């Protein structure tokens, strides 16, 4: 079992322990101030794809992202923030991920992306 699958399974297991009446929290990324993108943000903006083309991620200048897995027909949406070479992703269902941008390649977990 891949490490990411183990973490995902643990997250689902832990979700069973959380109280059901807990209010939904708002997304933590604040998009109120939309200034000109920094050089780090500018490097991240665009469409990214895995080497085999199985996953596409579109990082938009407004801090939104759209992730698609064409073969599976899956689509995910959410927000992202850039902090120098680190990208923080928060999906519409509350999942979070950390990405790293280095030498023109984006790494999120075990997946590696290049600009499309």
Q: How many domains are there within the chain?
A: 1
pLDDT values of the chain reduced to their tens digit, one per residue, 116 residues: 566 777 677 677 666 666 555 666 666 666 555 567 889 999 999 999 999 999 999 999 999 999 999 888 889 999 999 999 999 999 999 999 999 999 999 999 999 999 98
With respect to residue 103, please indicate whether it lies within any of the assigned structural domains. yes
Q: How many CA atoms lie within 13 A of 97 on its CB side?
A: 22
With respect to residue 102, please indicate whether it lies within any of the assigned structural domains. yes
Residue 10 DSSP code: H
For residue 9, the model assigns a pLDDT of 77
For residue 12, the model assigns a pLDDT of 73
Beta bridge partners of 82: 87
With respect to residue 83, please indicate whether it lies within any of the assigned structural domains. yes
With respect to residue 50, please indicate whether it lies within any of the assigned structural domains. yes
For residue 33, the model assigns a pLDDT of 58
CATH of the domain at 60: 2.40.128.290
For residue 58, the model assigns a pLDDT of 97
Report the Cα–Cα distance between both ends of the chain, in Å, rounded.
29
With respect to residue 23, please indicate whether it lies within any of the assigned structural domains. no
With respect to residue 101, please indicate whether it lies within any of the assigned structural domains. yes
Question: What is this structure's pTM?
Answer: 0.68
Helix-then-strand count for the chain, H and E: 2, 8
> CA-CA distance, 33 to 22, in Å (whole number)?
29
């Amino acid at each position: 079992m891949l490490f990411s699958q183990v973490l995902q399974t643990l997250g689902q297991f832990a979700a069973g322990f959380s109280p059901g009446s807990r209010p939904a929290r708002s997304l933590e990324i604040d998009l109120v101030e939309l200034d000109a993108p920094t050089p780090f943000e500018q490097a991240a903006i665009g469409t990214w794809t895995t080497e085999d083309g199985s996953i596409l991620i579109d990082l938009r200048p407004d801090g939104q992202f759209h992730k698609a897995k064409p073969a599976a027909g899956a689509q995910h949406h959410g927000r992202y923030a850039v902090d120098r070479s680190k990208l923080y992703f928060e999906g519409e269902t509350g999942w979070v991920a950390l990405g790293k941008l280095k030498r023109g390649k984006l790494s999120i977990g075990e997946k590696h992306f290049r600009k499309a």
